[in-house]
Amino acid sequence: MSLPQIEEVRRRIENCKDKQIQMYLKALYLFAARGIEVAGKLTASDFVTNPEHQVYGPKGCDAWLDYTEPPDPSTLQVIRTLLKIQSQETSIDEAIAQLEKKVPVGVFKIKIAKQHLEPGETAPYRLIALPLVDEYEPWAKEMFGYFEAAGTDYVFADLSRQDVWHYITHTQRVFEDLHYRIKKYTYLRGLLLEDPEENKGFKVLSHNRKLKGHGIRHVRVDELLKRWNFDGVDIAAYVGWSMGKKDGPDMMSNYAEIREMWQRYIKKLCKPNNFKSGGVS
């Protein structure tokens, strides 16, 4: 298996003893985010690669409440509802009202890093929507409240990526013995050689890497695809990736705000989650 179990990663995050870092890790997970997209402080390396010194992390005001139509009822829900009506536990009107009840949704505005910004250019963003129903996502209401408490300040104002890395590596080894698979890639960073052939970089073969902050992103994307049946457009909207030719027409993302289309996938997230806060059901 190339990725750790989803429930195990969630359990490890919940067991993080430092509450602020626990919430940071939950944010990385829920938003499928890079560390810099959550952190409220920059590291020394961020100042080198980020000439505008932009803080990408969200502020409390970057979250708001919305609603979505309820998911289509399952066959089991319909049967249970009919039985309640038959036994007079509920009326037809009450049953219909319950089935039509809209689902509260927390919408989070998350900036996207690694966009090779021009001087003076601000980072683009994506909108992440999560149902504020414990049965669907047990961490969503807590995260929404954490944003509300931050107000106009950065949600993780006291944390940089390096702070979190040091804590989960040395203070409390949150992800001890968990690994994920890195696929083969070409390493180009820092190569400014005169020989064009050498400038092509060098191959790094597929290998296992210890699970840290960025590995959480891999696990979350796996969950979205495997558990919630996201397709290519859903993933592009949620994670903020560019659209490829296989995902749709080449120019689609130039004309449509794909990264703001949370209404497209939100109903997929409105179904029971195997993970319950504090453990697995």
Output the domain CATH number for residue 62.
3.90.15
pLDDT given at position 220: 97
pTM of the model: 0.85
What's the domain range around 118?
6-69+103-177+210-275
More confident residue, 256 or 25: 25
With respect to residue 204, please indicate whether it lies within any of the assigned structural domains: no
Which residues 6+ apart lie within 8 Å of 271 measured at CB?
71, 136, 228
| Domain assignment present for 260 | yes
Considering its fold, how many domains does the chain have in total?
1
Question: What integer pLDDT is reported at residue 185 of this predicted model?
Answer: 72
Residue 185 lies in a domain: no
Over residues 43-59, mean pLDDT: 79
What torsion do the CA atoms of 163, 188, 51, 122 make, to the nearest 10 degrees? -90
Q: Rounded mean pLDDT of the chain? A: 85
Instruction: Give, in degrees to the nearest 5, the angle at Cα 83 between 81 and 87.
Output: 120
Does residue 54 lie in a domain region?
Answer: yes
Q: Is residue 47 part of a domain?
A: yes
User: Looking at the domain assignment, is residue 25 inside a domain?
Assistant: yes
Q: Please say whether the beta carbons of 154 and 59 come within 8 A.
A: yes
Within-domain flag for 49: yes
Confidence of residue 280 (pLDDT cuts 50, 70, 90): very low
Q: Is residue 109 part of a domain?
A: yes
Assign 166 a pLDDT band (cuts: 50, 70, 90): very high
Report the interhelical angle of 92-99 vs 75-86 (nearest 10°). 160
- pLDDT on residue 104: 97
Burial grade of 142 (CB within 10 A; 0-12, 13-18, 19 or more) = middle
